[in-house]
Amino acid sequence: MPSNSNSNHRDVDYVFRVGGEGGEGVISTGEMLTQTLARAGYDIYTFRTYPAEIKGGHANYQVRASGKVLLSYGAAVDVLLAFNQEAYDKHIGDVRAGGVVLYDSDSFTAAARESLIYYPVPLTSLATEKIGVKLTKNIVALGVLGQLFDIPLPTFEHLLKERFGRKGETVVQKNLQALHVGAEYIAHQRKQDAILLGPGPRQTKSLILSGNESLCLGAIAVGCRVYAGYPITPASDIMEFLAKELPKLGGFVVQTEDEIAAIGAVLGASFAGAKAMTATSGPGFSLMTEMMGLGVVAEIPAVIVNVQRVGPSTGMPTKTEQGDLYLACYGGHGNCPRIVMALTSVEDCFYGIMRAFNMAEQFQLPVVVLSDASLGHRKATVPVPDLSRVPVIERRKPSLEELVNYKRYQYTPEHVSPMSVPGVSGGGYIAEGLEHDETGYPAASNHENHLRATNKRYGKFHAVEQMANELTRIYGEPHPEIGIIGWGSTEGVIREAVQLAQEKGYSVGALHPKILYPQPLAKLTEFLQGTKAVIIPEVNYSGQFATLLRKRFAYDFVQLNKCIGLPFTPKEILDKIEEVAAHVHSGRRSSAYAAKL
Amino acid sequence: MAQVKEYIGKVKPDWCPGCGDFAVLNALQRALADLDIAPHNVQVVSGIGCSSNLPGFINAYGFHGLHGRSLPVATGARLGNHDLTVIATGGDGDGYGIGVGHFVHTCRRNVNMTYIVMDNQVYGLTTGQASPTTEKDIVTKSTPEGTIEIALSPIALALTCGATYVARGFSGDNLHLAQMIKGAIEHKGFALVDVFSPCVTYNKHNTYPWFRERVYKLEDEKHDTADFRLAMEKAFEWGARIPLGLFYKVERPTYEDEEPALRSGTPLAKQPLQRTDLAAIMEDFI
C-alpha cells in the first residue's frame, strides 16, 4: 500500500460521491469527508440532493476536491462510495471510465463493470464485529477512503475528536477505532487505482461555508440584528443560524405566523430604525409581494432573500431552479421599482448580502436577493472574509434644519429623502401606503402628484443602474465572438465552461451581472457589440432573464434552459458553445437550433 | 400633564359626520395626554379602512400600511425600538377578517402594545358589505338575503388566544372609552380594546340608540377581571344586555421580557454596530 503523496497536488481534482439510505449518516459522512479535504488544504465544492422525506429514501452527497479554485461541482464521479444496491444502481452510470467504486459488500454484491475499479469492503460487519456499533460503518468507510487515497488520517482523527467530543471519551475512542479498522482493512488489499491526494496546496485558513451560512455571516457583518421569518425549505437554515447567533450580538429572530407577517415585521423594525431582513423561498415570496409594494411606496429599507426552489406552487421543495426572476422584478401591483440582485457563489453570498443591506439603506427601498437551493445548500471553501471590502452604509437621516417643517418624502436631486426614526422630536411623519405628497400625507386624488411621486421612486434607479454596471463581471474574452450571459448561481459553471471552450480555441466570453433589476444596460450594450451569438443559460423553463433582456435589446439570444431541478454541469454549457459556434461558422441562424436540455 | 391639543394632527378627519371613530380618536388623544407620553414617542400603526386612517389625524409617528397587516408592522416597530409606545388601530374587517391570523398570533406573542379596533360591524370604506362581526341575517350590500355566517366574538377570540388585557368601549361613552384605552396603554402586554364605533352611513342596525338601550358596564356589576371563565361567559353575552368595560386582565411576561436582547435595555435601533464578535462565529466554520 503506497502512502507517498502526489508529487503535484495542484493537479488533484477528484469528485467523490457517497450514496445510501437517508437517515443512516450518508450526509454526515459526506460532510466529514468534505471538512477533512478542506482542512487538508484543498478547495472543495459540494453538491447534495436529498429526498423531501425526513427519514428513509435515497440520500447522496458529493464533494469535489481540487488543488485549484473550483467553479462547479464537476462532471463525472471519480470515486463512488455506495452503502446499498440502490445507491450503486442510481450512481454507477455517473462514474467515469477508470473510476473507483467502494461498496459495502455486506449489503450487496456489485455486478462489476470492466472499465471500473472495485473495492468491496464489508463495512457493516467490520463495524458490528470490531466496534460493536453498526452505524460506525460510516467512519469505517472514511478510514478506507483516507488510507486508500492518502487523505491525511490525522486530519480525520482531529475532526472525529471535535465532532464526538461532547458525547464523551468512549464515543470518541469507538470512532477513532472505526477509522483505523477501515484503514487497516484496505491497507491489506492491493491498490488498483492511481488516486492519491496527500496534503493540499493551501496553507492559509479558510472557512467551509454553505451559501446560506455565508449569507448569514454577511448579514451579521453589515449590522442586521432583526430577522423575521417563517420556516420553508431551502431557506429555514438561515433562520436557524441567526436564531443561534443574533442573540449573542444583541439581536434576535422572530418566527412569525406566515411570510406576510415576516416581511411586515421587517418593515416595522426597519421603520423604527433597525436593520432587518427575512428569507424565504418561492411560496413565501409570492405571499410577500403586496408588502414589497408597500416597502417601495413608503420607501422603507428592507432585505428579502429568496432561496429559490422548483415551482410553481409547492413544486419540488428540495430541488433547485432559477424560476422566480419575473416575480422578483415585477411581482405585485402598480409601478413598483425595487432592486433585484442575485448571489453568484458561496463567497458572493457574504459580500452580496452586505451590498443588499447597503443599497436598501442608501435608496430606502426593498432589495430582493435571489439565491437558490443549489447555492444555499452547497458548501465551499471561502477565504476568511475581508470586512473592509464592503463599507457599511447607513440611511440618510434629517439634519436639524430639515427637521423644521420636516418632509419625509422631500424631492431631492438624488430622489432619496431624509428618513427620520420614531423617537426623534420634530421628525414625526406617516409612512404611507397610499400615494402621498412630500410630507407623507395621502394624495389619493391628486393626479399630477402621482406622476411626480412615481418619477421620484423610479429616479433612484439612475444611481442603482450605475452600481449594476460596476458590479457586472466579465470572464474570458471581453469582446468575444460567442457571448454568454448568466445570472446568479450559474457563475462558476459558466466560468468553467468558458475556460474549457477557450482551451479548445473558441472565442468566448461571459458577462455576469450581480444586479438584475435595474439592468446594467451600459455593460450589456458594450458586451453585445461584435458578438455573433449570445447564449443565455438559465435553470428554468422559459428563459426569464433572456425575456427581460429581449425587452431592452433587439438581439436574437440563444436560450439554454435546464428544467429538471438540477444545476448545470460545465459540459452542458460547453456543448452549447460548440454547437452555436458551429452554426455561426456555417453562417446559419443560431437560435433556430436552440433546444431544451 | 400634556394637553390633548398636542396630539391633534395637521389634517382634519374626513370621516362622515357622526362616525364613531371621532370619539375613538379623541379618547386616544385624551389617554395619551393623561399618561403624558410625548407625541414623538408614540407610534400609531394601522391597516386599511375608514378607521385605519386614524394615524393621519393624530400628531405622532404613523404607519398606514396594508389592509389587515397592521399588527406585524406594529410588532416589528415595537421590537425594533421598545422605548416607543406602540398603538395599532383598525376596523373589524381589517383586524378580524383579512388580518385575523395576525391577530391570533399577536395575542399569543404578548408584545407590549395596544390594539384598538373600531368595530362598526360593516365594511364602511368599500360602502357597506358584511363584515366578520355583522350579526346573522343582517341585510348588507353583499348579503341581500341576510348574512349566513354567525358573527365572530372578538373578545372571546382575544381571550382564547392569550391577550392579557381585553376590554370593550363604546363611542357613545367617550370618558369610559378613554379609561379603557388608558388602561390598555398602561398594561404591560398585548391589550385589545374593541370599540363599538357605529357606522352612521352603512349600518342602520347597530346604531347609537341600539347600543344605548343594551350596553352596561362590567365594573358596575363588580365583575372580577381576573376570572377567565367569567370573562369568556361575558364575551358571549349579546342581545338585550351587552357588556362594556374590562373583561379580563392578567400579568404574563411579555415578548420583550422573554427576549434577552430586548430585556437588556438599549433598543436595537439605537445600538451601535459591533463587529467584533464575527470572528468568534467564524471559528465554527474552519
| pLDDT digits 0-9 by tens, B237-258 | 999 999 999 999 999 999 999 9
Closest CA to B87 of B172, B4, B184: B184
- What cell numbers appear for A502 in the block? 477557450
**Which pLDDT does position B284 carry in this prediction?**
85
Is the Cβ–Cβ distance between A547 and A572 less than 8 Å?
no
Provide the β-strand partners of residue A473: A512
A–B interface: beta-carbon pairs under 8 A: 201
Q: Which residues pair with residue A307 across a beta bridge?
A: A371
How far apart CA A300 and CA A432 sit, in angstroms, is: 10
State the residue for C-alpha cell 420614531: A422
d(CA A517, CA A501): 29
With 60 as the cut, is the pLDDT of residue A597 above it?
no
Return the exposure string of A221-260: e unless at least 16 CB atoms fall within 10 Å of the residue's CB, then b.
bbbbbbbbbbebbbbbbbbebbeebbeebbbbbbebbbbb
- Cell numbers 488489499: residue: A189
Spans of chain B, pLDDT less than 70: 274-277
pLDDT in the model for residue A585: 87
Indicate the residue of A257, A423, A431 with minimum beta-carbon distance to B62: A431
Contacts of A424 in chain B (CB under 8 A): 40
Convert B209-256 into a string of H (helix), E (strand) and C (coil).
HHHHHHEEEHHHHCCCCCCHHHHHHHHCCCCCCEEEEEEEECCCCCHH
Q: Are residues A73 and A149 in the same domain?
A: yes
φ, ψ at A15 (rounded to 5°): -110, 120
Q: pLDDT at position B190, please?
A: 98
| Alpha carbons A346 and A352: distance in angstroms, whole number | 10
Asked if B101 is an interface residue toward chain A (Cβ–Cβ < 8 A), one would say yes
Q: Which residue of B has its CA nearest to A271?
A: B77
Range scoring the smallest mean pLDDT among A54-63, A315-324, A465-474, B144-153:
A54-63
Fold category of B4-285 in CATH:
Rossmann fold (3.40.50)
Q: Which of A367, A389, A411 is the last residue of a domain?
A: A389
If you average pLDDT over residues A504-532, what whole number do you get? 97
Residue A479 lies in a domain: yes
Is residue A585 domain-resident?
Answer: yes
**Given a cut of 60, is residue A596 above it in pLDDT?**
no
State how far the Cα of B20 lies from the Cα of B24, in Å rounded to an integer: 7
pLDDT digits (tens, 9 = 90+) for A126-178: 999 999 999 999 999 999 999 999 999 999 999 999 999 999 999 999 999 99
Nearest CA in chain A to B49: A434
B82 touches chain A (CB under 8 A): no
Domain boundary (A389, A418, A446) is at A389
Q: Do A256 and B72 touch (CB under 8 A)?
A: yes
Identify whether residues A180 and A213 lie together within a single domain.
Answer: no
pLDDT given for residue A509 in this prediction: 98
Round the average pLDDT of chain A to a whole number and report it: 94
Q: Which of B51, B41, B48 minimizes the C-alpha distance to B64?
A: B48
Checking if the pLDDT of A183 tops 90, the result is: yes
pLDDT at A75: 82
Same domain, A363 and A443: no
Q: Are residues A144 and A166 in the same domain?
A: yes
- State the greatest distance between any 2 C-alpha atoms of chain B, in Å, as a whole number: 73
8 Å CB contact of B79 and A265 = yes
**What is the model's pLDDT at position A51?**
63
> Taking CB atoms and an 8 Å limit, are B60 and A428 in contact across chains?
yes
Tell whether A459 and A484 lie within a shared domain: no
Nearest by CB to A268, from B39, B41, B76: name it: B76
Phi/psi of residue A483, nearest 5 degrees: -100, 155
The closest CB to that of B268, out of A205, A274, A387, belongs to: A274
Tell me whether residue A79 is in a domain.
yes
User: Does the CB of A300 have a partner CB in chain B at under 8 Å?
Assistant: no
Taking only residues 197 to 236 of chain A, the set having a beta carbon closer than 8 angstroms to any beta carbon of chain B reads 205-209, 213, 217, 220-221, 223, 225-226, 228
Q: A521-528 vs A544-552: helix axis angle to the nearest 10?
A: 90
Q: Which residues of B touch A257 (CB under 8 A)?
A: 101-102, 104-105
Verify whether the Cβ–Cβ distance B79 to A217 is below 8 Å. no
Cis peptide before A518 (omega within 30 of 0): yes
Backbone angle region of B162, left / alpha / beta, with phi > 0 → left and psi within -120 to 50 → alpha: left
CA angle B254, B259, B261 (to 5 degrees): 135
Flag if A422 and B268 touch (Cβ within 8 Å): no
Pick the residue with more confidence: A459 or A202?
A: A459
Look at the alpha carbons of A34, A39, A40, A44 in this order and tell me if their dihedral is positive or negative.
Answer: positive
Q: Is B259 on the interface with A (CB under 8 A)?
A: yes
Is B75 at the interface with chain A, CB within 8 A? Answer: yes
Please check whether residues A501 and A362 belong to one and the same domain: no
Clarify whether residues A502 and A579 are in a common domain.
yes
Alpha carbon of B110: minimum distance to chain A alpha carbons (Å) = 13
Q: Which of residues 28-67 of B touch A (CB under 8 A)?
A: 38-41, 43, 45, 48, 55-56, 59-66
CB B189 within 8 A of CB B112: yes
Number of DSSP helices (H) and strands (E) in chain A, helices first? 18, 21
Distances (CA, A) of A221 to A215, A250, A297, A384, A524: 10, 13, 28, 13, 31
The answer to whether A257 contacts chain B (CB < 8 Å) is: yes
Query: Percentage of chain A with pLDDT > 70?
Result: 96
pLDDT of residue A493: 97
pLDDT of A326 reads: 98
Q: How close, in Å, is residue A365 to chain B by CA atoms?
A: 15
Residue B88: closest CA among chain A residues belongs to which residue? A268
A12 shares contact with chain B (CB less than 8 Å): no
Nearest CA in chain B to A261: B72
- Domain, as residue range, for A135: 9-187
DSSP state of A223: T
Residue A419 falls inside a structural domain: yes
Say yes or no: A444 contacts chain B, CB-CB below 8 A. Answer: no
Q: How far is A291 from chain B (nearest CA, A)?
A: 7
- CA angle, A280 as apex, A275 and A282 as ends, to 5°? 140
| Final residue before a domain boundary, out of A471, A498, A525 | A471
Question: How close is the nearest chain B Cα to the Cα of A206, in Å?
Answer: 6
What span, in angstroms and rounded, lies between the C-alpha atoms of A293 and A101? 54
CATH of the domain at A177: 3.40.920.10
Whether the per-residue pLDDT at A53 is higher than 90: the answer is no
* Shared domain check, A167 and A114: yes
A228 found inside a domain: yes
A247 touches chain B (CB under 8 A): yes
A464 and A478 part of one domain: no
Instruction: Report if residue A4 sits inside a domain.
Output: no
| Strands of the sheet with A252-255, listed across from one edge | A252-255, A226-229, A276-280, A302-308, A366-372, A339-342, A515-517
Assign residue A384 the CATH number of its domain: 3.40.50.970
Within a domain: A199: no
Residue pair B236/B242 in contact (Cβ under 8 Å)? The answer is no
Residues A180 and A220 in one domain: no
Amino acid at B14: D
Helix H, strand E, coil C: the string for A367-381 is: EEEEEEHHHHHCEEE
Residue with cell 426552489: A309
Which residues of chain B does A428 touch, with a Cβ-Cβ cutoff of 8 Å?
A: 39-40, 59-62
User: Higher-confidence residue: A270 or A591?
Assistant: A270
Q: For the domain that residue A566 is a member of, what is the CATH number?
A: 3.40.50.920
Residue type, A284: G
Measured between beta carbons, which residues in chain B are less than 8 angstroms from residue A221? 275, 278
Q: Do B76 and A257 touch (CB under 8 A)?
A: no
Among B125, B94, B61, which Cα is nearest to A431's? B61
Contact A143, A183 (CB under 8 A): yes
What pairs with residue B169 in β-bridges? B195
Contact A421 B81 (CB under 8 A): yes
- Asked if B96 and B152 count as a contact pair (C-beta separation under 8 A), the reply is yes
| A429 near B CB under 8 A | yes
For chain B, which residues make up each domain, given as ranges? 4-285
pLDDT tens digits along A358-415: 999 999 999 999 999 999 999 999 999 988 888 999 999 999 999 999 999 999 999 9
Q: How far is B50 from chain A (nearest CA, A)?
A: 13
Is A193 part of a structural domain of the chain?
A: no
Cβ of B63 within 8 Å of Cβ of A264? The answer is no
- pLDDT tens for B125-146 read 999 999 999 999 999 999 999 9
CB contact under 8 A, A272 and B102: no
Shared domain for A378 and A401, answered yes or no, is: no
Interface check for A593 against chain B (CB to CB < 8 A): the answer is no
Residue B51, min C-alpha distance to chain A (Å): 15
CA distance B145 to B141: 9
ipTM of the complex: 0.96
Q: Determine the residue among B41, B63, B110, B255 to mutate to test chain A binding: the one whose Cβ has the most chain A Cβ atoms within 10 Å.
A: B63
pLDDT average, residue stretch A37-41: 95
Using the Cβ of A332 and the Cβ atoms of chain B, whether some distance falls under 8 Å is answered with no
Length of chain B: 286
**Residue of chain A with shortest Cα separation from B261:** A250
Do residue A384 and residue B282 have CB atoms under 8 angstroms apart? yes
| Shared-domain flag, residues A581 and A460 | no
What amino acid occupies position A105? S
- Which comes out higher in pLDDT, residue A587 or A305? A305
B63: chain A residues, CB-CB within 8 Å? 268, 271, 298, 430-431
**And the C-alpha cell for A459?**
429616479
A339 vs B: CB within 8 A? no
Number of domains, chain A: 4
